[in-house]
Amino acid sequence: MSRPYLSVIVPVYNEEENLETLFRRLTAVLDGMGRRYEIIMTNDGSADSSGVLLHRLYQQRPDVLRVIEFNGNFGQHMAIMAAFERVRGEIVVTLDADLQNPPEEIPKLIALVEQGYDVVGGYRKNRRDTWFRRTASRIINAVRARITHIEMRDQGCMLRAYRRRVVDQVASSGEVSTFIPALAYSFASNPTEVEVEHVERIRGQSKYNLYALIRLNFDLMTGFSVVPLQLFTFFGFVVSLLSFAFVVYLFIRRLVIGPEVQGVFTLFAILYFLVGIGILGLGMIGEYIGRIYQEVRRRPRFTVKEILQQDDD
Ligand code: UDP
Ligand code: MG
């Protein structure tokens, strides 16, 4: 059995309404390319009938489909990671199961990899998400780019293609909570980006609520940079200097004017502000410690219940 040339990876979490259409369109595109390929779908602990559907699809096309069953929900990035650990292809493509990334765009990405780019990121043309999602992403993206020095036009776009070398490095990095496009970018030597279509999610719901998005971005910032810690040190330094000047000023007032009680509220306001900043700093240190804790615990990043595939060679 010869190795596939392409591996297409799809994380699946409660996508029963999309799986059949996705698989049909995906195989149509890939069959049309005339190269050997495999599709790896990771069922990330779906509670709906996605698992059953994946079994059925596997029965239809065991020649191209491989299914990894997790025994819990470990998140989109771990679902991709599990597939990264097992890819057989030379070029690896990731996309979402919800059909927001049209499979018909895949050949475009692959052509760029074949031209010599080792990471090809998609960015979404007329992104079809709510205004709130788009604005929030824009702000977060700008902050993240400055802090992590990862230049990605659209971090949320999962339609991406990688050379196998990059995928192997990502898979062996061993990080617990990570963000695959950023990690891959840090291993890339020749990345590029290309515009891809984006359509609204027609069936099923987005799995990311506001809280999950905030968490993801904390992960990005603390996982790829220590700049937040350094900024905090810097801020603490500036505040200390200002406070010192303030103390000197108050001391002189005390000598010149004598004891005063006015200004108590101003002082309280300043104090609360500083206490708030202090708590923020503690929380931020906590983010890093939490990460360190997760890493040193050395628990498995995810657990696989079952794999459906034809034998390895
Ligand atoms: N997903 C996953 N595990 C999760 C959440 C999401 O595997 O815990 C998958 C989901 O099935 C989809 C992709 O990740 O294929 C992106 O999820 P979604 O479309 O909900 O995110 P959005 O497009 O809203 O950012
Ligand atoms: Mg989506």
Per-chain residues with Cβ under 5 A from ion ligand 2: 96, 98, 100
Closest ligand to residue 209's CA: 1
Please state, as a whole number, how many other Cβ atoms lie within 10 Å of the Cβ of residue 301: 18
pLDDT of residue 260: 80
CA of 45 to the centre of ligand 1 (A): 12
pLDDT of residue 259: 84
d(CA 132, CA 129): 8
Closest ligand to residue 199's CA: 2
d(CA 235, CA 178): 27
CA of 274 to the centre of ligand 2 (A): 40
Return the structure tokens found at 28. 């149509």
Question: Which of 10, 12, 13 to mutate for ligand 1's pocket (most ligand atoms within 8 Å of CB)?
Answer: 13
- Residue 100 · residue 201 · CB < 8 Å: yes
pLDDT of residue 151: 84
Question: Which of 8, 93, 96 to mutate for ligand 1's pocket (most ligand atoms within 8 Å of CB)?
Answer: 96
Q: Could you tell me the strand order of the sheet in which 6-12 lies?
A: 191-196, 119-124, 160-163, 91-94, 6-12, 37-43, 65-70, 304-308
Helices (H) and strands (E) in the chain, counts: 10, 8
Which ligand 1 atom minimizes the distance to the CA of 14?
11
Residue 246, H or E segment: helix 227-257
Q: Whose CA is nearest to atom 16 of ligand 1?
A: 96
Beta bridge partners of 209: none
Burial of 66 (C-beta count, 10 Å sphere; 0-12/13-18/19+): buried
pLDDT of residue 307: 96
Strands 37-43 and 65-70: parallel
Which ligand 1 atom minimizes the distance to the CA of 74?
8
pLDDT of residue 256: 92
pLDDT of residue 313: 52
Question: Which of 50, 76, 124, 211 to mutate for ligand 1's pocket (most ligand atoms within 8 Å of CB)?
Answer: 76
pLDDT of residue 176: 84
Question: C-alpha dihedral over 31, 32, 38, 43, to 10 degrees?
Answer: -80
pLDDT of residue 160: 97
Q: Whose CA is nearest to atom 19 of ligand 1?
A: 206
Buried b / exposed e over 221-251, threshold 16 CB at 10 Å, is: bbbbbeebeeeeeeeeeeeeeeeeeeeeeee
For 190, the 3-state DSSP assignment is: coil
Query: What tens-digit pLDDT sequence spans the chain (313 residues)?
Result: 579 999 999 999 999 999 999 999 999 999 999 999 999 999 999 999 999 999 999 999 999 999 999 999 999 999 999 999 999 999 999 999 999 999 999 999 999 999 999 999 999 888 777 888 888 888 888 888 888 888 888 888 999 999 999 999 999 998 887 899 999 999 999 999 999 998 888 888 888 877 887 888 888 888 889 998 999 899 989 999 998 998 899 899 889 988 887 778 888 888 898 899 899 999 999 999 998 998 898 889 999 999 999 976 5
Please list every protein residue whose CB sits less than 6 Å from any atom of ligand 1. Answer: 11-13, 15, 44, 73, 75-76, 79, 96-98, 100, 156, 206-208
pLDDT of residue 22: 97
CA nearest to 118, candidates 172, 158, 168, 83: 168
pLDDT of residue 136: 81
CATH of domain 6-205+301-308: 3.90.550.10
